C-alpha cells in the first residue's frame, strides 16, 4: 500500500474538492479508488504549473533576484512574503514577462517562457493583476471589465460599436463585478472609485482574462477591513479552477488563504513551507524582527 487511508483521503479531498488540507472525504469514497488512481491524482496535483530555476535579475549590478528556484503547484495558493525590497515585485515581473531575467529560466504549464513578452505570457494563461494606473479611469466600471473580456475573446474590435455587438459581454462583465462586490458601482466612471474599490475592479479585470495562474501583488494594500475581508473571500472563491501566486502584506490573509509560503529575503529564498512551519522558523523570526523591518509581505 503506497498511501495510508488517511493520506489518501486528504489527497483526494484536495484534488476533487479543492478543499483545504485537513478536510477529509468519507472513507467509503476514498476506499473505492485504486492505488494507481491515487498515484495518478497525486502526480497531477503535484505537477508545478510555474517553475523557476536559478532565476536572477540584476539592476545595474544590484541583485534584486539572486538564484530563486521555486515551484508553484497546480491548484494551490502560493504566497510570497518578505521584507520590503526583498524582490517580490521583481519576481512577479520576471514571471509575467515585464522584466527579462539576467539568467535562469521560467517555465509555465509545461513549457519554457523565459523572455516572452507580457501579452504572450498572458495569452498562455498567466496574468498579473494590473496596477491601478492600467484601469481606464475615463470609462465606466462596467466598460473596463468589458474591454478586458473583449481582449480575451480575440473578436474583431467590436467594443467601440454601439448596440448588440457588445451585449454578449455585458452579462459576463456584470457577473464578474458582482463577484468582486462592485455591481452597484458599475455605471460610475472608474475614476470615481475609492482606492480599495479600484483594487477590486483590477481583480475583476484580471479575472476577465480567465487565467490559469493569477499573480496578485498585494491585492489588499491600502484597503479598509471590510474590503480586505471581501477580497480575501473572493480569492478563496476564484481559487476553484486556477492557481494563485499571492504577494500579500496582511499575514492573517496569508494564513487563511495559503497552501504554501515562500519567504524571500534580499532576492533569495529564505524559507519555504506551510504557514505554521514558516512562522515558527527562527530564520524568519530573525529576518522580520531582527531586521527591524516589521512583518511585511
Ligand X SMILES: Nc1ncnc2c1ncn2[C@@H]1O[C@H](COP(=O)(O)OP(=O)(O)O)[C@@H](O)[C@H]1O
Residue 212: name its binding partner from ligand X, Mg ion, none (Cβ under 5 to 8 Å by kind).
none
Hey, what's the cell of 93?
515581473
Q: Which of 87, 101, 196, 219 binds ligand X (CB under 6 A)?
A: 87
SS3 call for 216: strand
Give the number of other CB atoms < 10 A from CB of residue 159: 16
Residue 59: name its binding partner from Mg ion, ligand X, none (Cβ under 5 to 8 Å by kind).
ligand X
Rounded to the nearest whole angstrom, what is the least distance from the CB of residue 93 to ligand X in the complex?
Answer: 7
How remote is the C-alpha of 167 from its chain's centroid?
A: 29
Q: Which is nearer to Mg ion, 80 or 190 (CB)?
A: 80
**Alpha-carbon distance 3 to 1, whole Å?**
6
* Cβ neighbours for 107, distance < 8 A, ≥ 6 positions apart: 48, 50, 51, 52, 53, 113
Rounded to the nearest whole angstrom, what is the least distance from the CB of residue 142 to ligand X in the complex?
Answer: 32
In sequence order, the β-bridge partners of residue 48 are 73
Q: Which is nearer to Mg ion, 34 or 133 (CB)?
A: 133
Rounded to the nearest whole angstrom, what is the least distance from the CB of residue 88 to ligand X in the complex?
Answer: 3
Q: Is 233 in the site for ligand X (CB under 6 A)?
A: no
SS3 call for 279: helix
Q: Which is nearer to ligand X, 51 or 217 (CB)?
A: 217
For binding to Mg ion (CB under 5 A), which residues are involved? 88-89
- Show contacts with ligand X in window 61-80 (CB under 6 A): 64
**Alpha-carbon distance 81 to 104, whole Å?**
21
Segment (H or E) for 246: strand 243-247
Residue 230: name its binding partner from Mg ion, ligand X, none (Cβ under 5 to 8 Å by kind).
none
- Show contacts with ligand X in window 41-60 (CB under 6 A): 59
> Which positions touch ligand X (CB under 6 A)?
59, 64, 82, 84-90
Amino acid at each position: 500500500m503506497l498511501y495510508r487511508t488517511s493520506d489518501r483521503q486528504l489527497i483526494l479531498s484536495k484534488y476533487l474538492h479543492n478543499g483545504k488540507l485537513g478536510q477529509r472525504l468519507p472513507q467509503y469514497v476514498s476506499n473505492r479508488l485504486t492505488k494507481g488512481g491515487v498515484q495518478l491524482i497525486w502526480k497531477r496535483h503535484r505537477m508545478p504549473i510555474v517553475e523557476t530555476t536559478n532565476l536572477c535579475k540584476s539592476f545595474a549590478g544590484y541583485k534584486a533576484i539572486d538564484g530563486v528556484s521555486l515551484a508553484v503547484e497546480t491548484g494551490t495558493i502560493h504566497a510570497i512574503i518578505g521584507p520590503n525590497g526583498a524582490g517580490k515585485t521583481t519576481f512577479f515581473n520576471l514571471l509575467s514577462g515585464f522584466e527579462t531575467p539576467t539568467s535562469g529560466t521560467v517555465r509555465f504549464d509545461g513549457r519554457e517562457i523565459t523572455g516572452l513578452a507580457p501579452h504572450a505570457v498572458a495569452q498562455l494563461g498567466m496574468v498579473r493583476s494590473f496596477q491601478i494606473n492600467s484601469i481606464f479611469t475615463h470609462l465606466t466600471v462596467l466598460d473596463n471589465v468589458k474591454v478586458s473580456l473583449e481582449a480575451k475573446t480575440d473578436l474583431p474590435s467590436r467594443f467601440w460599436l454601439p448596440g448588440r455587438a457588445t451585449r454578449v459581454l455585458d452579462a459576463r462583465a456584470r457577473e464578474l463585478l458582482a463577484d468582486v462586490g462592485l455591481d452597484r458601482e458599475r455605471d460610475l466612471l472608474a475614476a470615481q472609485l475609492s482606492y480599495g474599490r479600484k483594487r477590486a475592479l483590477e481583480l475583476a479585470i484580471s479575472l476577465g482574462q480567465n487565467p490559469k495562474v493569477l499573480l496578485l501583488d498585494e491585492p489588499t494594500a491600502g484597503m479598509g477591513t471590510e474590503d480586505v475581508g471581501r477580497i480575501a473571500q473572493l480569492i478563496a472563491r476564484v481559487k476553484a479552477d486556477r492557481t494563485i501566486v499571492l504577494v500579500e502584506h496582511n499575514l492573517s490573509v496569508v494564513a487563511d488563504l495559503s497552501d504554501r509560503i515562500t519567504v524571500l529575503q534580499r532576492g533569495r529564498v529564505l524559507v519555504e513551507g506551510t504557514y505554521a512551519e514558516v512562522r515558527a522558523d527562527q530564520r524568519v523570526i530573525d529576518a522580520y524582527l531582527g531586521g527591524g523591518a516589521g512583518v511585511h509581505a
